[in-house]
């Protein structure tokens, strides 16, 4: 059984390596919804309103604009294998297709997700910010993509922002959606949004003073963040 007292790395390994004390398989049978088990807890589920994005002229709310098979974990010991999902990052919703191809919204909060990108051997690992219940930075929300796993966990916060554009003479507005990505480091169950390489190095040096003398060799903010977190985990 998963609980919030387990070290974050162990919780991530639960999903990302497939280790579990009791994996659950879920068949998309609407008869199961009313029992309060599986994903959807009402009788019919919630169908997404595609009209919400009718006036979006640029950008997309989706993580990927197609369904991908994924393994999901709900944070309470439930693991669900090979579920076709599509994630709306802007609305923070996960949608799936049932066995008939009908589209529904997942109602049970999903905290961990390992998706399999079609045509690629790579797996994409996501963790939801609600996985860290003691996090005090309320600006860190929604899904984060796992980059480095270890004593320090490196994540990329996958934010989307929608802006309204309204012409001076028009009564109708249109909208654009853009990415707003942040680097986040998890230490001892707390999330820290990283804006500068020096800021991250100082944060890590508070726990391991040798990091203060570490010389960054990579170029580019993202590469330097990876390098620092990797070095910290190897000490």
pLDDT in tens, 125-149: 999 998 888 788 888 999 999 999 8
Residue 3: inside a domain, yes or no? no
R_g (Cα) of the chain, nearest Å: 20
* 65-103 tens-digit pLDDT: 889 988 888 777 777 788 888 898 988 888 887 777 777
| Mean pLDDT within 165-179 | 78
Total structural domains in the chain?
2
Residue 1: inside a domain, yes or no? no
| Mean pLDDT within 42-54 | 54
- Contacts (Cβ under 8 Å, ≥6 apart) of 74: 80, 108, 109, 110, 111
If asked whether residues 135 and 220 sit together in one domain, one would say: no
Q: Looking at residue 121, what is its pLDDT?
A: 84
How many CB atoms lie under 10 A from the CB of residue 119?
Answer: 6
Specify the DSSP class assigned to residue 75.
S
If asked whether residues 169 and 69 sit together in one domain, one would say: yes
If asked whether residues 14 and 105 sit together in one domain, one would say: yes
If asked whether residues 91 and 137 sit together in one domain, one would say: yes
If asked whether residues 80 and 67 sit together in one domain, one would say: yes
Q: What's the CA gap between 155 and 161, in Å, rounded?
A: 19
* 176-201 tens-digit pLDDT: 888 989 999 999 889 999 999 999 99
- Per the CB < 8 A criterion, the answer to whether 112 and 73 are in contact is yes
Structural domain of 221: 195-235
If asked whether residues 91 and 153 sit together in one domain, one would say: yes
If asked whether residues 125 and 216 sit together in one domain, one would say: no
If asked whether residues 174 and 66 sit together in one domain, one would say: yes
Strand partners, 144: 127, 157
């Amino acid at each position: 059984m998963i609980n919030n007292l387990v070290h974050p790395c162990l919780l991530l390994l639960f999903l990302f390596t497939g280790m579990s004390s009791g994996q659950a398989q879920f068949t998309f049978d609407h008869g199961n919804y009313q029992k309060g088990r599986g994903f959807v807890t009402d009788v019919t589920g919630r169908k997404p309103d595609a009209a919400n994005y009718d006036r979006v002229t640029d950008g997309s709310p989706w993580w990927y604009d197609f369904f991908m098979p994924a393994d999901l974990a709900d944070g309470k010991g439930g693991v669900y294998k090979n579920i076709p999902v599509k994630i709306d990052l802007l609305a923070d919703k996960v949608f799936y297709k049932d066995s008939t191809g009908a589209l529904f919204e997942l109602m049970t909060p999903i905290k961990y997700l390992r998706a399999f990108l079609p045509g690629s051997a790579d797996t994409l690992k996501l963790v939801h910010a609600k996985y860290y219940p003691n996090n005090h930075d309320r600006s860190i929300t929604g899904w984060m993509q796992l980059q480095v796993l270890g004593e320090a966990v490196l994540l990329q916060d996958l934010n989307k922002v929608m802006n309204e554009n309204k012409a001076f003479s028009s009564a109708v507005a249109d909208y654009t959606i853009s990415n707003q990505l942040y680097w986040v480091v998890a230490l001892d169950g707390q999330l820290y949004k990283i804006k500068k390489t020096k800021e991250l190095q100082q944060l890590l040096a508070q726990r391991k003073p040798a990091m203060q003398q570490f010389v960054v060799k990579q170029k580019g903010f993202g590469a330097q963040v990876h390098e620092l977190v990797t070095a910290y985990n190897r000490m």
